[in-house]
Amino acid sequence: MSRVEADNFYSAGSASTGAIGIPKGQENEKPVSNLPQAGLRFNETTGGIELYAGGAWSSFGSGGADGSTSASAFGYLSEVEGLYTGTQNLWTTVGGQVSPFQISVNFDIVGGPWYEASFSFPDGITSGGMSSDMVHVTNSATNDGFKGAYNENVNVGYGAQSFPSLYGHSITATQGEGITVTGEVTTGSSGGTTSVRSINYLNHATNSNFSSIQLNALRNIISKLCPATPFVGSDYDSDGNQSTQIGWERPWDRYAESGTGYTHIVYIRDVDGNTQMTCVGSSDPSNNGQAYLWTENTFQRVRNYVDAEEAGVGAEPYGLLNSKMILPAQWFGYTGSGGGAAFGAYYNSDIGRKNNKVVFLFK
């Protein structure tokens, strides 16, 4: 049984107007085992008082967990809510899980504050001045370039947009059907599945990628993808074959190549190995495309035509498979014929770009 060590506490001043001292120590001395249901300590590294409750540490009090310095790093976004406007580069320990590091925080978008990040795919495409913040898979670089959908318009709630512009990219006529887009991943002329590929994330506060330790700490506490920056999957020229397409035989919440036919899909995989489609349907008739928008609890399919191909077997998708899909760890693609599929974050002009990448928000 745990014991209260009297030597850890002391009093100063009179009993009625003085103060009681509490246990103290550096960040790396924070206890990690045999913790009480609720605990209190002074963090000499950050200069803040810390409360342990609900299985996690948080900072509060006059220690100044405002994120302005490493010594005043905040643990949770709620600690800096209302302190700033605009976008600020602040120090955080992500709930006391890691040593303080800087991260960009957006205070202006409704529902904030929000963490900011961008995809930084090692296999991402480059077009229109944008770099590696989206992926594109095709069976052949000479039979793609968004196919005939590169200048096709859809409306996801912000007016008519071309498919590439959903991702903040610009594909010209010379990069249209039959012309490669720099950086796209090919499966080979007969189609098939690509290898599983990693996903990095750019930290705009440091202009470098988040470390795996930082990403895993964020994955442990986040639960919401900002509806202003949903994830977008899209497919082009899936040559509908309704007896074998995903709309009839393929569940959306796992990977299974058999029966996917002529469709094109980008899959994402979380850090625990769970897999989901980001393209849930089939873009028929020939050369047309459709987009699929995702947050943690919403799903929307957008296209400019109507056909019979809908979601996978079972229920319509309800949103991302789980909260760790807000920062997926890997991706891979499948193609069944000429055409392609893409995945990235939606480009919202109110939030804009940083470092030639589309910014998405989460918390």
337-349, pLDDT tens digit by residue?
777 888 999 999 9
Across 29-100, the runs of DSSP E, i.e. the strands, are 38-43, 48-53, 56-60, 87-92
Q: What is the pTM of this model?
A: 0.79
pLDDT digits (tens, 9 = 90+) for 214-224: 999 999 999 99
Statement to judge: residues 319 and 245 lie in one domain = yes
Average pLDDT over residues 3-30: 67
pLDDT digits (tens, 9 = 90+) for 249-264: 567 788 876 666 677 8
Is residue 245 over pLDDT 50?
no
Whole-number pLDDT of residue 176? 45
Q: State the burial class of residue 115 (Cβ atoms within 10 Å of its Cβ: 0-12, 13-18, 19+).
A: buried
Whole-number pLDDT of residue 149? 67
Is residue 355 over pLDDT 80?
yes
Residue 185 maps to a domain: yes
Q: Give, in order, the Cα–Cα distances in Å from 235 to each of 230, 264, 301.
A: 17, 6, 11
Statement to judge: residues 46 and 171 lie in one domain = no
| Residue 265, both tokens | 């899909």
Alpha carbon of residue 18 to chain centroid: 48
Task: Categorize the per-residue pLDDT at 152 as very low, low, confident or very high, splitting at 50, 70 and 90.
Answer: confident
For the ranges 10-19, 68-77, 196-205, 301-310, the lowest mean pLDDT is seen at 301-310
Contact between residue 313 and residue 251 where contact means Cβ atoms under 8 Å apart = yes
Residue 168 maps to a domain: yes
Torsion of CA 166, 170, 175, 179, to 10 degrees: -40
Whole-number pLDDT of residue 309? 47
Statement to judge: residues 52 and 166 lie in one domain = no
Q: Where are the alpha helices (DSSP H) in 265-339?
A: none
Is residue 64 over pLDDT 50?
yes
Q: For 141, phi and psi rounded to 5 degrees?
A: -65, -20
Task: Please identify, among 57, 73, 108, the residue that sits at the C-terminal boundary of a domain.
Answer: 108
Whole-number pLDDT of residue 17? 66
Residue 213 maps to a domain: no
What type of residue sits at position 245? Q
- Cα 320–Cα 323–Cα 324 angle in degrees, nearest 5: 100
Whole-number pLDDT of residue 205? 98
The residue with greater pLDDT, 231 or 138, is: 231
Q: Give, in order, the Cα–Cα distances in Å from 261 to each of 101, 189, 240, 251, 281.
A: 46, 14, 9, 14, 12
Whole-number pLDDT of residue 286? 58
Is residue 247 over pLDDT 50?
no
Whole-number pLDDT of residue 46? 58
Contacts of 144 (CB under 8 A, 6+ apart): 136, 138, 177, 178, 180, 181, 184, 236, 338, 339, 340
Statement to judge: residues 82 and 166 lie in one domain = no
Whole-number pLDDT of residue 160? 81
Contact between residue 118 and residue 201 where contact means Cβ atoms under 8 Å apart = yes
Statement to judge: residues 231 and 303 lie in one domain = yes
Sheet of 231-236, strands arranged across: 185-186, 134-138, 340-345, 231-236, 289-294, 299-303
Q: How many CA atoms lie within 13 A of 186 on its CB side?
A: 16
Instruction: Domain of residue 91: give its range.
Output: 6-108
Statement to judge: residues 126 and 103 lie in one domain = no
Statement to judge: residues 256 and 290 lie in one domain = yes
Q: Where are the alpha helices (DSSP H) in 47-168?
A: 163-166
Residue 276 maps to a domain: yes
Task: Please identify, among 108, 137, 170, the residue that sits at the C-terminal boundary of a domain.
Answer: 108
Statement to judge: residues 43 and 184 lie in one domain = no
Is residue 52 over pLDDT 70?
yes
Report the alpha-carbon distance of residue 4 to residue 28 in Å, rounded.
22
Report the alpha-carbon distance of residue 223 to residue 361 in Å, rounded.
12
Whole-number pLDDT of residue 354? 94
Residue 72 maps to a domain: yes
The residue with greater pLDDT, 212 or 137, is: 212
Is residue 239 over pLDDT 70?
no
Count the domains in the chain: 2
For the ranges 26-40, 205-219, 315-329, the lowest mean pLDDT is seen at 26-40
pLDDT digits (tens, 9 = 90+) for 66-97: 999 999 999 999 999 999 999 999 999 999 99
The residue with greater pLDDT, 131 or 229, is: 229
Residue 214 maps to a domain: no
Residue 206 maps to a domain: no
pLDDT digits (tens, 9 = 90+) for 296-332: 999 988 875 544 444 444 457 889 999 999 999 999 9
